[in-house]
Amino acid sequence: MYEVILYYHFHEIVLPEEFCKAHKAKCKELGLKGRIYISEEGLNGTASGSLEQIEAYKQYVWSLPGFDQTEFKQESYDEVPFAKLICKVRKEIVSLHVDGVDPKEGGRHLKPHEWRAVLESDEDHVIIDVRNNYESRVGHFKGAIKPDVKNFFDFPAWLKTADIPKDKKVLMYCTGGIRCEKFSVLMKKEGWEDVNQLHGGILNYAYKEGGEHFKGKCFVFDDRLVVPVNPNDLAPIAHCEITGKPADSYVNCANMECNKLFICSEEGAHLMEGCCSEECKKSEYRRPFDPEQAFQPFRKWYNYFDEEFKERNKEWIKKAEAEEPNGCLS
């Protein structure tokens, strides 16, 4: 078994490039794999390794000046859900694209039992899912508003059109808590006063409260893609985009020029040979379909093809190499 951790901590890093260089060297020394973002505002990461490797890394992070209060969400998995280690400097550790957002000015943190108590009370409130649409599609708290946005930085525009009374008690949540740290600040700046966020996010709530009142599963940014939240309610709430049957597994379209992330059942994957449409199924740039590996992640998809394809798509490939999924880890 291996351990998977998810964490973040806001603390000023004066020289992020130097911090990143030392941090990456330590991760390589420990043999970790994962994705870690560093900026002037702090540290945000998800990583995996053996129990010993993870414990050594946690001790290392806690030893860094200003990071001794970093909280880690941790769970076991039967393999390492990352192909390699990525440790890089970014402008923001989670990208809202709004200046002057200080997490110290954010909403009230509700511990999982406090969050559950509000949900089970008669107190009037509104719940906002502060995640991308493809995340909330496979799992969410009952009654939550699920904004139809593709990126976290789309939330400020969404908020301007959201019909939420400013005297309403607001509850918000995300995967691990980091997005709420910033979005709660924005809501308070825009006039909402009673703003509350789920401390530690869905993953912490799943561990502490068994996922009660949560439907479906939680999307995560690693090879697992979705993880269970409520062990007593594992039924999919989404549907296969091919067959229409209940499903919550995501795959990337096998047509390399499409690469759409879509919900697909095993039956649907076999019917369309891993593609999202008949058009994609006919593409000359369709990667080989292996029924036994239908839901396994694949990487560097362009290496399936010849030099002519690579030359024609070199700018696209360069961009794909540089991008990470939505800049979100938690």
Q: Catalytic residue numbers? A: 174
Which amino acid, 241?
E
Q: CA 139, 142, 145, 147: dihedral to nearest 10 degrees?
A: 10
Rg (CA), the chain: 20
Q: By C-alpha distance, which of 65, 85, 80, 73 is closest to 24?
A: 85
H/E element, 163: none
Q: By C-alpha distance, which of 179, 185, 222 is closest to 201?
A: 179
Can you state the angle between helices 112-119 and 201-209, rounded to 10 degrees?
80
Cβ-proximal residues to 272 (8 Å cutoff; 6+ apart), any chain? 242, 264, 278, 280, 281
3-state secondary structure of 124: coil
Question: Would you report the helix, strand and coil content of the chain in percent, each value rounded to 5?
Answer: 30, 20, 45
Q: What tokens does 27 get?
A: 């991760």
Cβ-proximal residues to 317 (8 Å cutoff; 6+ apart), any chain? 302, 310
Cβ-proximal residues to 188 (8 Å cutoff; 6+ apart), any chain? 105, 106, 107, 195
- Cβ pair 118, 213 in contact under 8 A: no
Q: What tokens does 66 get?
A: 């200003």
